[in-house]
Structure 1
Amino acid sequence: MSDHEQLLQQLIDSMTASGSLRTEPWKHAAAAVPRHEFLRGGFFRVVPGSSPTAWAPVRQDEDGWLSACYADESLVTQIANTIQPTDIRGEIMREPTSSSTLPSLVLRMLEDLQVQPGMKVLEIGTGTGYSTAVLCARLGSGNVTSIEYDEGIAQRAREALGRLGTSPTLLTGDGLAGDTEGAPYDRIIATCAVRTVPAAWLEQTRPGGQILTTIGGWLNASELVRLTVHGDGTASGPVLGGQVSFMLARPHLPPPLGLLPDLSKGTEREAIVGADVLTDWTSRFVAQFAVPTAQHLKLQQNQRTEDVLVDVDTGSWAALYEEADRWVVRQGGPEVLWDTVEEHLGRWYAAGTPAVEEATVRVTTEAQTLHW
């Protein structure tokens, strides 16, 4: 048995023990796909102790490259939308824009997809092509279509899949628009997060089919959701939990904040709920459904720290600060952002703050709502 085969078997054993890999068909599919083939361009590692975070390239066949390919961790493969590990020497301090997702999450999501032989699957976000290859090993290449937004990433995935003799339908373009020509699909799975589930995905999934996606937002909390599409074009389904985090689809990234509104004006009152709720993942996830186009930042004002929500689209804002063991909120603009947050969180509190796994998401072409 070669080095990579031993490492792959160890990874499969680990994913099985953790419960990410649960059924024999997916074990066989995972065993058929050598992950290192999709990382031949290398990856970036965090430079220990760096602040702000710096990244250093690890190239193919360097010490630690192969073992890292079979570690159960995400590996950053692109920085700042264009920079590959082979492009630089030394370190870079820019934001990651593409990665190879940790294998246990890939397999957990594929298990959660609930596929059956013969089903047609549309994957949003080809990335390195690893998850695409596992899907093909399970369903056959003819039943898998994958869309990648970035042309360079798409080409590298195409080459990696070609080396394995795997030939799904690979498209380059906006995955949020789906694939009209191949529709309807039995399953859609997204390997990027979305702020709202695109109407095109609902239209391109057959009634009774499912969409598995991570719903995130600009307050930086996200969860995996499995939606069943109904005959009327709506969809609903459970939040699967686990605090699953993916990079947002590029068209769903927040707009620049630009010039902030005058935060000294507005109407002030004592807050029912303080800004400390924004430090909790689940509270933020609930709040995102209340104010889906708001962004959060901290500012130093009047010799104190204020938590500020700003909605660039409407110009609405809310600023909160703590004073004498109470929270005060000041709000301006056409929408009262913090009132809406308090109302949504109030319903969650009234229900006993249930875990997200007890929640259901409902999606129409006009709205996306969270129910407990």
Structure 2
Amino acid sequence: MTDQAQLHQQLIDRMMIGGSLRTEPWRRAAAAVPRHVFLRGGFFRRAVGSDFTAWESVREDDPGWLEGCYTDESLVTQIAGTIVPEDVRGRITREPTSSSTLPSLVLRMLEDLRVEDGHKVLEIGTGTGYSTAVLCARLGAGNVTSIEYDERVASRARAALGHLGTHPTLLTGDGLLGHGAEAPYDRVIATCGVRTVPHAWIEQTRPGGLILATVGGWLGSSELARLTVHEDGTASGPLLGGGVNFMLARPHTPPPLGLLPDLEDGKERETTLGTDVLNNWTTRFIAQLAVPGAQRLTLERDGRTEDVLVDVETGSWASVYSEGGRWVVRQGGPEPLWDAVEEHHGRWCAAGAPAAKEFTVTVTPEGQTTRW
């Protein structure tokens, strides 16, 4: 057995032991797709010994590249929308914009998609093409349509898939619009996060079909939702839990914060809800439901740490900090953001603080709601 084959088998074994790879058809599909083929352009790893988040490139001829390809980790493949590993010597500190998702999450999602032989699948977010290839190995390339937003990313995925002799329908464009020409689909799966599930996906999925997507927002907490499409053009279903996190689809990324509001303005009061609710995954998800347009930043002012929520569209803001052993909030703008967080958090606690998997997401032409 070659080093590559051994590393691949070890990855398969880890996913089976970990429970993300659960059934024989998907085991065979995962075994048929070598991950390193989709990472020949290299990847970025976090730089060691830096006080900030920095990235270093790992190329195909670098020591540790092959082993890295078969780790069960997400590997960053693009930074700042255009920069790939071959463009960088040394370190870079910009934000990642594309990655190869950790294989265990890819296979967990594919298992959760509940496909059957002959199903047609629409994939939103081709990325490197690895998950696309696994779908093709399971269902046949003729049953898979995949859309990638970034033309350069799509070109690399097409080349990697072609190298394996796999030729699904690959499109470049806004995946939030789906692809009506191949509809209806039995399944839709998104490998990017969305704030709200686009209604186009529902319209292009047959009644009884499933949509698997990560729903989240600008406070950085997200969960995997599995929605069933209904005859009336709506869709609903549970969150599956587990705190799944993907980069948001680019049209769903937050607007620039711009000039910050005057944090000395506004009304100040004591609050029983501290900023620890923004540091816990589930309670941050609750806060995000309450203030979906808010973004968070942390400032050091007057010798104290302030967590600030800002809604760029409305101009509303809230600054929360600890003072003299108590929590204080100062708010400004037309909508008191922290009041909304307190109210939503209080209702969740009154309901017994249910776990994410007890939540239900419903999407109609009028919008999306999440309830427990």
Give the TM-score category using the shorter length.
Answer: over 0.9
Which structure 2 residues correspond to residues 273-292 of structure 1 after superposition, within 5 A? 273-292=273-292
Instruction: Provide the rounded CA distance (Å) in 2 between the counterparts of 1:206 and 1:93.
Output: 44
Per-residue CA deviations over 1:1-50 (Å, capped at 9, x if unaligned) read: 32222211111111000000000000010011111111111111111121
**Contact 1:20–1:107, Cα closer than 8 Å, also in 2:** yes
Instruction: Provide the rounded CA distance (Å) in 2 between the counterparts of 1:57 and 1:135.
Output: 28
Q: Which residue of 1 aligns with 2:295?
A: 295
1:61 is paired with a residue whose SS is coil
Q: How far 1:355 moved relative to its partner?
A: 1.4
Instruction: Provide the rounded CA distance (Å) in 2 between the counterparts of 1:337 and 1:363.
Output: 24
Instruction: Provide the rounded CA distance (Å) in 2 between the counterparts of 1:51 and 1:164.
Output: 41
Matched, 1:90 2:90: yes
Q: How far 1:365 moved relative to its partner?
A: 2.8
1:6 is paired with a residue whose SS is helix
**Contact 1:219–1:288, Cα closer than 8 Å, also in 2:** yes
Q: How far 1:302 moved relative to its partner?
A: 4.3
The range that moved more, 298-307 or 335-344, is: 298-307
Q: How far 1:245 moved relative to its partner?
A: 1.0
What is the identity, as a one-letter code, of the residue corresponding to 2:120? K
Instruction: Provide the rounded CA distance (Å) in 2 between the counterparts of 1:275 and 1:11.
Output: 39
Q: Which residue of 1 aligns with 2:78?
A: 78
Per-residue CA deviations over 1:139-161 (Å, capped at 9, x if unaligned) read: 11011000001101100000000
Identity of aligned residues (%): 73
Q: Which residue of 2 aligns with 1:201?
A: 201
**Contact 1:184–1:204, Cα closer than 8 Å, also in 2:** yes
What is the identity, as a one-letter code, of the residue corresponding to 1:177? L
Matched, 1:259 2:259: yes
Unmatched runs of 5 consecutive residues or more in structure 1: none
Which structure 2 residues correspond to residues 214-233 of structure 1 after superposition, within 5 A? 214-233=214-233
Q: How far 1:258 moved relative to its partner?
A: 0.7
What is the identity, as a one-letter code, of the residue corresponding to 1:60? E
Matched, 1:57 2:51: no
Per-residue CA deviations over 1:104-156 (Å, capped at 9, x if unaligned) read: 01000000000011111100100000000000000110110000011011000
**Contact 1:113–1:187, Cα closer than 8 Å, also in 2:** yes
Q: Which residue of 2 aligns with 1:14?
A: 14
Q: How far 1:303 moved relative to its partner?
A: 4.0
Q: Which residue of 2 aligns with 1:67?
A: 67
Q: Which residue of 1 aligns with 2:37?
A: 37
**Contact 1:219–1:284, Cα closer than 8 Å, also in 2:** yes
1:298 is paired with a residue whose SS is strand
Instruction: Provide the rounded CA distance (Å) in 1 between the counterparts of 2:253 and 2:201.
Output: 19
Q: Which residue of 2 aligns with 1:249?
A: 249
Instruction: Provide the rounded CA distance (Å) in 1 between the counterparts of 2:104 and 2:75.
Output: 13
Per-residue CA deviations over 1:332-368 (Å, capped at 9, x if unaligned) read: 2221211111111111101111211121112223332
Q: Which residue of 1 aligns with 2:103?
A: 103
Per-residue CA deviations over 1:210-234 (Å, capped at 9, x if unaligned) read: 1111112111111111111112222
Q: Which residue of 2 aligns with 1:211?
A: 211
Unmatched runs of 5 consecutive residues or more in structure 2: none
What is the identity, as a one-letter code, of the residue corresponding to 2:308? V
Matched, 1:315 2:326: no
Q: Which residue of 1 aligns with 2:360?
A: 360
What is the identity, as a one-letter code, of the residue corresponding to 1:269? R
Q: How far 1:323 moved relative to its partner?
A: 2.4
Residues matched between the structures, number? 372
Q: How far 1:291 moved relative to its partner?
A: 0.8
TM-score (ref. length: structure 2): 0.97
Q: Which residue of 2 aligns with 1:369?
A: 369
Instruction: Provide the rounded CA distance (Å) in 1 between the counterparts of 2:84 and 2:304.
Output: 42
Instruction: Provide the rounded CA distance (Å) in 2 between the counterparts of 1:266 and 1:93.
Output: 35
